[in-house]
Amino acid sequence: MSTSEAPVRTRIAPSPTGDPHVGTAYAALFNLAFARKNGGEFILRIEDTDRTRYVEGSEQQVFDTLHWLGFSWDQGPDVGGPAEPYRQSERLPVYREVAERLLADGHAYQCWCSSERLTQMRTRQQQLKIPTGYDRMCYGKTREERAELPGFTDVPVIRMLVPTDAKISFTDLIRGKITPPEPDDQVILKADGFPTYHLAVVVDDNAMGVTHVIRGEEWISSTAKHILLYGWLGWTAPTYAHMPLLRNADRSKISKRKNPAARLKWFQEEGYLPEALVNFLALMGYSMPDGQEIFTFDEMVASFDFARVNPVGPVFDIDKLNWLNGHYLRTLDDEAFLRAAEPFLPEGLTAQDVRSLVVPLRERTKKLAEIPEQLDWLAAATVTVQPADLAKHGLPAADARAILEAFAKNLEQLDPFGKEQITATLDRVVAEAGTNRRRSFMTARLALVGKPVSPPLDDTMVALGAERTAARLREAAAAIEG
């Protein structure tokens, strides 16, 4: 059955080599959207053949972070499926069998070159300014013949034998016709018996019935190798779509080494909502027909068309993500916002304990990790009024001292110390003093929290309590110079 006749089946195949990369979520989003648009299936496969980079627990992080985003898959290591197993380390006999078949058919050969010899070869090629690639020293030789030559290692790898005229072209759903560089004799089975990516991806995509390979543009240069392998094995190659890479502001590829936002867990740690991140990642490569910027995954699926994917690598704009996340936070009701905020509150506080302080933060919070800074005044032993803030937002020094003393004297007499009583008292004191209400309240806010932004003043005072409120007002009054 050709891929055009088969039910659409897409996949992602992350490697468990540490914190999942945001690119994994980006690729998963587009693979899942295309599969759902076409009533097909989405597969999760774990590519764990690079044992030197394997990190314990990373696989579970992949499952957890993708589930956090709301993504689900129809086949995978954790859910099973008709093409089990879905971990490459559990499929080694399959790769060995296919590699041996390619050897027998004359499409591959054994190579006994040591790593030292290969390094010297590449260095020499670079010095001569010629394309780097294996020089076929081992091709056509028996083990005994090769052992007589320098740079021999006892356990061979298996390399594909690429024809000298291997000019491969394919039609990409995003980029049209592509003719990638001619491949060299790529290793397909390593000395440890593990396959390289190139053999494993072809074998597994075929075994799992993958019809469309949607992956990053960095794999374009490898596609010729994969198409050759498909042809030699008599299998139908999938249809390819190479997504633009996510890029830093300097246009470099986003990486965990250079950018903390490359770590998928970072978005959870910073307090981004999954809906906002999905929307943002979609915008990085996709445009809706009506140009809207805020949309759900289901809306993306309904309109999905590869013609709407921009092949130019998008810049990972955190400011845009913050704007989107702020929008999604504001759509939460009080209880949902409190639940989302709970893990980010200062130690010892629960959302319900400071409900009246937390809920108002929803209107000015871009990410939940900002909440501790907005509430740090609550646990602080003391705060400092910055003269520049007082001059910009508050009353002149003499008036500021007077209003703070008046506030403290009147507020400490309140019983109960409730919001209605506080507001009435503040308004009365301001009226008696004849000062500007907004600047008077801002002066009090600066005295209580040390900055011009806080929850409503009455909520702030209730949270601090009568004694701490009066003490901070008086401390600030005494500290104001002028």
- Classify 249 in phi/psi space as left (phi over 0), alpha (psi -120 to 50) or beta: alpha
Token pair 């110079």: residue: 481
> How many residues are recorded in the chain?
482
Residues involved in catalysis: 256
Cβ-Cβ contacts under 8 Å for 411 (sequence gap 6 or more): 417, 422, 425, 426, 461, 466, 469, 470, 473
**Cβ-based burial of 413 (10 A; exposed 0-12, middle 13-18, buried ≥19):** exposed
Query: Across the beta sheet with 108-113, what order do the strands follow?
Result: 108-113, 152-160, 187-189
The number of C-alpha atoms within 13 Å of 370 and in the hemisphere containing its C-beta is 15
- Residues of the chain by 3-state class (helix, strand, coil), percent to 5: 50, 10, 40
**Cβ-based burial of 469 (10 A; exposed 0-12, middle 13-18, buried ≥19):** buried
Backbone Cα Rg of the chain: 31
Element (H, E) at 224: helix 220-233
**Cβ atoms of 391 and 366 closer than 8 Å:** no
Residue 263 pairs in a beta bridge with 21
Q: Other C-beta atoms within 10 Å of 472: how many?
A: 24
CA distance 151 to 478: 82
